[in-house]
Amino acid sequence: MASVAMVVTNACAPDPRVMRSAELLGQKGHTVTIHAFDRTQDAPMSEMVNGVRIMRYHIGSYPYGAKLATVRGLRAFSKVVLSTLQAKPPECVYCHDADTLSIGVKMARQTGCKLIYDMHDLQHTWALMGKPNSLPRRLIAKRMERKALNWAKMADLVITSSGSLAGSVHSGFKEYLANNGIKSMVVENRPKQGERAQKPAAKEGGWTVAYIGRVRELESFQLLTAAIELIAPEQRPSLKIAGDGTAVEDVHTHLLSAAARLGIHLNLSGSFTNETLPTLMQDVDVMYALYPPHRGNILNGALPVKMFDAASYGVPTIVNSDCLMGELATLEEIGAPVAWDKPQELADALVSQRHKVAVLTQLGIEQQTDFVQAFEALF
């Protein structure tokens, strides 16, 4: 059985994809330790979750986003994790996203350990967040992209979170990697099989639209409140927003003002855990996952975790149209695609999904089995 060091630049509190991959390997007898960067230093430094050890590094408070302090924090984290792994080298370094690849590449060169790269996202696109047309940021993003692709070619196994559907128009991350000469396998962000409380088909009284996840962009919530304003006052939904992120303060300020003006109930909360997610989902009728398309990962094939998680509770999700997530939501009937910056279209979609019950028929078991087999074939 292999010793595996997973590396992720969030606190893994929670990170469903990271935990899912770690638990799948742990269930097969492999020893998995997650090395996580707790930038706000709020979570326990050491924790055992379903047989997986999580080591959270508290090395100072650092922000998320495209800031110099963020870069300094990532460098400090990489340095201390590399030192930890060099002291007791694992048989495999499993890098979650491109901002951890430098650690895996150095360990592979120094010790000959296996290197796995799990690409959940296009990391270089985050450099454009907030200023997508900035020439300096575009140059930085291009440099980050070239470096990540070069390092990815050194991995023994590359996994990604999306790929085009049979007969589909839109491509996913697998096709992006293939276009750059990198072979990968797809493991989507689908929840593990299990019974979850389902949204009732008929519900009396009011209804709730939720956003549960990282709060990164104010524009998404400005569009949401603009759409709700177009719904008749007596039919307007309550809003539930849970999660932390770079834009959480601005988003909360905007929503508090908008809720008072629109006369709707607003429930705001911070970060959550896997254990508290079922409680958060109890009264949700529609999940909201509509993002500014100028963030490149949207049009290049991102599939939001919250869309799959919501569907596992019977809740449909509003997603971006003209991209893979919209195509999948339509095909599997787990949500409705909406064009960006079209508040009336969004308002109509929210109302149309109010009484819909999503059924997640594809649980990703085959993909997860293939992943474990590919991992074990390395040893």
Higher-pLDDT residue of 178, 202: 178
Do 41 and 171 lie in one domain? The reply is yes
Total domains present in the chain? 2
Do 141 and 266 lie in one domain? The reply is no
SS3 205: coil
Do 41 and 120 lie in one domain? The reply is yes
Within-domain flag for 231: yes
What is residue 68's predicted lDDT score, i.e. its pLDDT?
Answer: 80
Beta bridge partners of 6: 34, 94
What is residue 24's predicted lDDT score, i.e. its pLDDT?
Answer: 95
SS3 39: coil
Do 160 and 250 lie in one domain? The reply is no
Q: What is the mean pLDDT of residues 181-203?
A: 82
CA–CA gap between residue 221 and residue 215 (Å, rounded): 9
Do 274 and 316 lie in one domain? The reply is yes
What is residue 42's predicted lDDT score, i.e. its pLDDT?
Answer: 87
Q: pLDDT tens digit string along 50-93? A: 999 999 999 998 877 657 888 899 999 999 999 999 999 999 99
What is residue 194's predicted lDDT score, i.e. its pLDDT?
Answer: 60
Within-domain flag for 195: no
Could you tell me which of 39, 32, 184 has the C-alpha nearest to residue 119? 184
Within-domain flag for 18: yes
pTM, whole model, 2 decimals?
A: 0.90
Within-domain flag for 197: no
What is residue 363's predicted lDDT score, i.e. its pLDDT?
Answer: 74
Within-domain flag for 199: no
Domain extent for 260: 208-353
CA–CA gap between residue 361 and residue 220 (Å, rounded): 28
What is residue 124's predicted lDDT score, i.e. its pLDDT?
Answer: 80
Q: What is the mean pLDDT of residues 116-120?
A: 96
What is residue 195's predicted lDDT score, i.e. its pLDDT?
Answer: 60
Q: pLDDT tens digit string along 5-60? A: 999 999 998 788 999 999 999 999 999 999 999 998 989 999 999 999 999 999 99
Q: pLDDT tens digit string along 137-159? A: 888 888 989 999 999 999 999 99
Within-domain flag for 240: yes
Cα→Cα distances 197→211, 213, 318, Å? 18, 19, 20
Percent share of the chain, pLDDT over 70: 98
- Sign of the C-alpha dihedral, residues 184, 188, 191, 193? negative
Name the pairing type of β-strands 92-96 and 114-119: parallel
Do 347 and 369 lie in one domain? The reply is no
Do 284 and 246 lie in one domain? The reply is yes
Residue 168 has pLDDT above 90, yes or no: no
Q: How confident is the model at residue 171 (pLDDT cuts 50, 70, 90)?
A: very high
CB 219 within 8 A of CB 293: no
CA–CA gap between residue 152 and residue 246 (Å, rounded): 27
Q: What is the mean pLDDT of residues 368-374?
A: 96
Do 144 and 47 lie in one domain? The reply is yes
Do 68 and 181 lie in one domain? The reply is yes
Whether omega before 44 lies within 30 degrees of 0, making that bond cis, reads no
Within-domain flag for 278: yes
CATH of the domain at 50: 3.40.50.2000
Higher-pLDDT residue of 15, 273: 15
Q: What is the mean pLDDT of the chain?
A: 92
Do 221 and 139 lie in one domain? The reply is no
Do 237 and 319 lie in one domain? The reply is yes
CA–CA gap between residue 49 and residue 51 (Å, rounded): 5
Within-domain flag for 8: yes
CA–CA gap between residue 334 and residue 357 (Å, rounded): 8
Do 230 and 255 lie in one domain? The reply is yes
